Amino acid sequence: MIDIKLYDRNLTTPVFKENLTERVQNLSFSTKLHGGFHTCSFNLRADLPDAWGWLTGKAFYRLLVSDVEKVLFEGRIEDLTLSAGGAGVTAYGYYANLSDVPYATAYNAVASVVIKAVLTASCAQIASDQTNIAATDITITSAADANYLDIYPNNLIEKLLAFSDSTYGKWDFAIWEDRIPYLTKRSVSSSDWLVKLGDLSRFKLKHKSGELWNSVYAIYDDSGLTRTADATDAASIALYGLTREKVIPHLGTVVAATAQAQRSAWLADHKDIWPKLEDIVLGAYVYDKYGVKFPSYWVRAGEVIRIQDLVPTSADAGTVALDQLRTFFIVETHYNADTGQNRLVLDTESASIEAILARELSPVKRYFV
């Protein structure tokens, strides 16, 4: 059973205020990378005086959604509306704290070191436990460009992580339980969740060749406009019989190795045509690797799901890998308690204008700027 509890604003010694479970209607919550716990929204049954009290007195209160064993959402209440039927409430995960205070201290260090300093200096609501921030190895300087300093931590972190590391690949930053920060390199070596097509409420699979890029160069400043050498993938060019070249513009004043890292990371992520699961919605349940059934609201961003019968047996590689044929990395979840369904956004979600607009216009979508 989903439990919804309200606490005051004191995160050091929080004071429990109320169990809201029986008063909540139209509950939904989401997770996202980068970010972690993303949004939680609901309507609260309340008479006018009580609703007015929420509107005027509950801003930035802590909201905790759980089902006894697992935290499903932790965040702070920000958006409140008043109507004849009660109060409308929207809370945002504590990644929102990264948009409160800009960072203005010069740096010349690898991303993980900068991130630790940024959290300590500008993010008072984030836990001091930084043991889950993995080390990166590409040095970036705040002198690279005006947009690398005097910006909010969430924007800065996302810019820094685009440089990846010397072994390329994607990095994800999130704030999870107890407001603890996590920086992890994306890896798929095992499945967190197993489902079959019958467990899905709906899905749509699409191949989009226009998102293939098998040659890449980046532009940066080194006493003037400078271009990296092209990074190409010969196997991709031979397979598809076509060279498609991507330019990464305006990295600012960075050393050659830094620009090359972002260039090569882009190539590694775009050299193949992956099927796009444009619409995947879980039903009420999913299964772990042992076949144990769990509510689908346990699924969160940063986990790996495997759809066991999505492709014919002949197309199955037989190992757990990010093949985009049946194994997928989850970058967003949107759970609706009324329908018992969880919509997933995968790392191969379509980049078409139509798909982007559909996601941006979702009522639970918000980016911190």
Q: Are residues 116 and 152 in the same domain?
A: yes
- In tens, the pLDDT along 82-135 reads 877 678 899 999 999 999 999 999 999 999 999 999 999 999 999 999 999 999
Same domain (yes/no): 198, 339: yes
Is 279 in the same domain as 198? yes
Quote the pLDDT of residue 321: 45
172 shares a domain with 104: yes
pLDDT surpasses 60 at 136: yes
Decide if 369 is inside a domain: no
Q: What is the pLDDT of residues 167-211, one digit of tens each?
A: 878 899 999 999 999 999 987 777 899 998 888 888 776 767 778
Average pLDDT in the chain = 86
What pLDDT is recorded for position 342? 96
Q: Model confidence at 150, in pLDDT bands (50, 70, 90)?
A: very high
pLDDT confidence band for 45 (50 / 70 / 90): confident
CATH number at residue 15: 2.40.10
Identify which has the larger pLDDT, 128 or 277: 128
Based on the fold, state whether residues 106 and 235 are members of the same structural domain: no
Q: Is the dihedral of CA 156, 159, 163, 168 positive or negative?
A: positive
Report the number of distinct structural domains present in the chain.
4
pLDDT of residue 315: 47
Task: State how far the Cα of 277 lies from the Cα of 31, in Å rounded to an integer.
Answer: 18
Residue given tokens 């001091």 in the structure block:
128
Tell me the residue range of the domain where 312 lies: 193-208+274-348
> In this predicted model, what pLDDT tens digit does every residue of 308-364 receive, in sequence order?
887 655 444 444 444 556 788 899 999 999 999 999 988 864 444 344 344 444 443
Beta bridge partners, 345, equal 332
User: Could you tell me if residue 220 is inside a domain?
Assistant: yes
Domain co-membership, 9 together with 77:
yes
Residue 297 lies in a domain: yes
Q: Is residue 358 part of a domain?
A: no
Q: Are residues 122 and 219 in the same domain?
A: no
Residues 180 and 215 in one domain: no
Within-domain flag for 202: yes
Region 293-308: mean pLDDT is: 93
Average pLDDT for residues 139-152, to the nearest whole number? 88
- Say what the pTM is: 0.81
Last residue of a domain, one of 31, 65, 96: 96
The answer to whether residue 15 sits within a structural domain is yes
204 and 337 inside one domain: yes
The verdict on residue 361 lying in a domain is: no
Q: Give me the pLDDT at residue 277, please.
A: 62
Asked whether residue 320 falls in the same domain as residue 202, the answer is yes
Residues 60-75 pLDDT 10s? 999 999 998 899 999 9
Question: Within this chain, do residues 244 and 320 fall inside the same structural domain, yes or no?
Answer: no
Does residue 106 share a domain with residue 91? Answer: no
Cα 64 from Cα 177, distance rounded (Å): 10
In a domain, 204, yes or no: yes
